[in-house]
Chains A and B, each alone.
Chain A
Amino acid sequence: GENVEQHPSTLSVQEGDSAVIKCTYSDSASNYFPWYKQELGKRPQLIIDIRSNVGEKKDQRIAVTLNKTAKHFSLHITETQPEDSAVYFCAASYPFDSWGKLQFGAGTQVVVTP
């Protein structure tokens, strides 16, 4: 099966600075890499994703990069704001039967201080 490692486990940044979270995966067959944001007491919500045939994707202040050779992908948040404070999970989807299986990382607690 797939193994996803996520670093760091906690990240404290000043408002306006950038935040970077890195994930590595083990299964070269993994082909879809989503990022979820979970605010305190809420459900995880998809914020951005990338497929294995794309190297980078941006959506306003967030971006995701993928290095298939090295089997790692990263989330970049620029100009951080207090509302970016949350737990962020990376995940990798690998083929299993005719469906995919999502393997999540352990999560990164991001704290943005004003």
Chain B
Amino acid sequence: NAGVTQTPKFQVLKTGQSMTLQCAQDMNHEYMSWYRQDPGMGLRLIHYSVGAGITDQGEVPNGYNVSRSTTEDFPLRLLSAAPSQTSVYFCASSPTADRSLEKLFFGSGTQLSVL
């Protein structure tokens, strides 16, 4: 099992550009989520999904879109990148039975810079 795979690892964008951060898991987890990590602010939830076809907003959803067409994939889209979206992004998944998110598996992260 590869676990949670994120691509790319690093990305530099210009303001206004769009891009998609990819996240895939091969553990058949129902729950998948995206967090952003900023210095002094911990990990903040952007969007999450509890199954294919189901997505919901987290704490900081503005400027980001998600979709969940399959159990395995949960891409995060930035439609028009802004400098405020410079951050490290983590995808995380959790097994079906883990409703308290006790076994949250994180990807390796994407460092995004928006100039």
Contact = CB atoms under 8 A, between A and B. Distances in A.
Q: Is the interface of A mostly helix, strand, loop or mixed?
A: strand
A98 B100 contact: no
A45 interface: yes
Q: How large is the interface on B (under 10, 10 to 19, 20 to 34, 35 or more residues)?
A: 20 to 34
Q: Is the interface of B mostly helix, strand, loop or mixed?
A: loop
Contact of A102 (B40, B90, B104, B107): B104
Interface of A: 1, 4, 6, 9, 31-32, 34, 42-46, 49, 89, 91, 93, 98-102, 104-107
Contacts of A31: 100
A104 B102 contact: no
Contact of B101 (A1, A89, A99, A106): A99
Contact of A93 (B42, B44, B100): B100
B90 A44 contact: yes
B74 interface: no
